[in-house]
């Protein structure tokens, strides 16, 4: 296993809630991109149909969870003809590692894409180590 | 999502569940609509109808709606576009699950849609295309004198 994969498993391990199986029919796991740079980790999640008011991002202990409810105005007497999307909720959570600064998580939502920025604590940002030549 | 009123518990659900069970048994449906796409399609599509109109919802997060190419020829709707995910250089990626690239979806709608009366809006990553039905096919109330 490469170093990168090791990092993934320690830093953003996904939490599989026990009750997930039961709700599988209505809940969608939003697809995500996750990357890390020197100052922190960024998560992009596709959550179309979710407005700012219906988005909930929270950190409890070391678990970061994102959830949102789809709300699209529709005619009342509409009948479904064809549906690829049937769930009305998005849910996904990740466990964070201790060097992430959970108090400084920033979230923004644009055109159905959620962006989360999780910075590393100052003391964990990489420092260049000078090699002295004797 | 068609879990909104009427969409979550229809007879379609039972049929679909049965169909899915059959699919999972045999590793995929033997017959699918020629233009249908797998469950991971981008953008995913829902279509609903009322006696007055046909409503198409495309779940297309993160696109610039002005770059979308939407056309309706008789009752065949085509939506084409592109979503480019900007990758950060020098960063280590742990997951790349989001769609990146060009897309085209083609849908056959009910035959009585009126190609001259269409409007499209884009909100929270959902493109809603509303097409009215032709006057002649709308239900009419008949009064008894």
The CATH number for A41's domain is 2.60.40.790
Chain B residues inside the 8 Å CB shell of A31:
97-99
Place of tokens 């990357």: A35
CA–CA gap between residue A37 and residue A40 (Å, rounded):
6
Chain A residues inside the 8 Å CB shell of B98:
31-33, 44, 46
CA–CA gap between residue A96 and residue A59 (Å, rounded):
9
- Looking at chain B, the domain(s) classified CATH 2.60.40.790 span 35-135
- Domain assignment present for residue A134? The answer is no
- Domain assignment present for residue A67? The answer is yes
pLDDT for A23 equals: 45
Beta strands in A1-134 (DSSP E): 13-14, 27-28, 32-37, 40-46, 55-60, 63-69, 79-83, 89-95, 106-110, 113-119
Residue A57 structural domain: 3-72+84-123
Task: Give the pLDDT mean for A123-134.
Answer: 80
Place of tokens 């046909």: B54
Q: Using the predicted structure, report yes or no on whether residue A18 has a pLDDT greater than 80.
A: no
- Domain assignment present for residue A27? The answer is yes
Confidence category of residue A7, pLDDT binned at 50, 70, 90:
very low
Count of structural domains, chain A: 1
CA–CA gap between residue A37 and residue A96 (Å, rounded):
15
- Domain assignment present for residue A48? The answer is yes
Run of H or E including B127: strand B126-133
Degrees, nearest 5: CA angle B130-B34-B7? 45
Fold exhibited by the domain B35-135: Immunoglobulin-like (2.60.40)
Q: What is the mean pLDDT of each run of 10 residues along chain B (145 residues)?
A: 51 62 58 68 92 95 94 94 90 92 94 94 96 84 85
Q: Using the predicted structure, report yes or no on whether residue A90 has a pLDDT greater than 80.
A: yes
- Domain assignment present for residue A44? The answer is yes
Nearest to A79 among B6, B8, B94 (CB): B6
- Domain assignment present for residue A20? The answer is yes
- Domain assignment present for residue A98? The answer is yes
Chain A residues inside the 8 Å CB shell of B125:
46-50, 111-113
Q: Is the dihedral of CA B109, B115, B118, B124 positive or negative?
A: positive
Q: Using the predicted structure, report yes or no on whether residue A114 has a pLDDT greater than 70.
A: yes
What does each C-alpha distance from A39 to A45, A118, B100 come to in angstroms?
20, 9, 25
Beta bridge partners of A58: A65
Q: Using the predicted structure, report yes or no on whether residue A57 has a pLDDT greater than 90.
A: yes
Task: Check B94 against A34: CB less than 8 A apart.
Answer: yes
- Domain assignment present for residue A100? The answer is yes
């Amino acid at each position: 296993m490469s170093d990168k994969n090791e990092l993934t498993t320690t830093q953003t391990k996904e939490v599989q809630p026990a009750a997930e199986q039961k709700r599988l029919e209505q809940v969608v796991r939003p697809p995500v991109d996750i990357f890390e740079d020197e100052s922190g980790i960024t998560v992009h999640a596709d959550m179309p149909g979710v407005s700012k008011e219906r988005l909930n991002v929270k950190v409890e202990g070391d678990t970061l969870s994102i959830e949102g409810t789809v709300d699209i105005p529709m005619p009342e007497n509409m009948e479904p003809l064809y549906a690829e999307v049937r769930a009305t909720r998005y849910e996904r959570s990740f466990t964070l590692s201790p060097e992430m600064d959970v108090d400084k998580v920033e979230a923004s939502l644009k055109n159905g894409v959620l962006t989360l920025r999780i910075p590393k604590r100052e003391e964990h940002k990489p420092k260049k180590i000078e090699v002295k030549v004797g | 999502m068609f879990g909104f009123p009427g969409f979550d518990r229809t007879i379609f659900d039972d049929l679909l569940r049965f169909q899915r069970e059959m699919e999972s048994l045999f590793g995929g449906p033997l017959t699918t609509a020629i233009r249908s796409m797998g469950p991971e399609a981008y953008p995913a599509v829902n279509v609903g109808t009322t006696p007055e109109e046909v409503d198409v919802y495309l779940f297309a997060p993160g696109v610039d709606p002005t770059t979308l190419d939407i056309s309706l020829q008789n009752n065949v709707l085509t939506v084409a576009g592109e979503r480019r995910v900007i990758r950060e250089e020098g960063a280590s990626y742990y997951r790349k699950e989001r769609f990146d690239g060009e897309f085209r979806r083609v849908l056959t709608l009910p035959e009585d849609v009126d190609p001259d009366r269409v409007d499209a809006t884009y909100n929270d990553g959902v493109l809603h295309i509303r097409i009215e039905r032709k006057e002649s096919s709308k239900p009419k109330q008949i009064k008894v004198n």
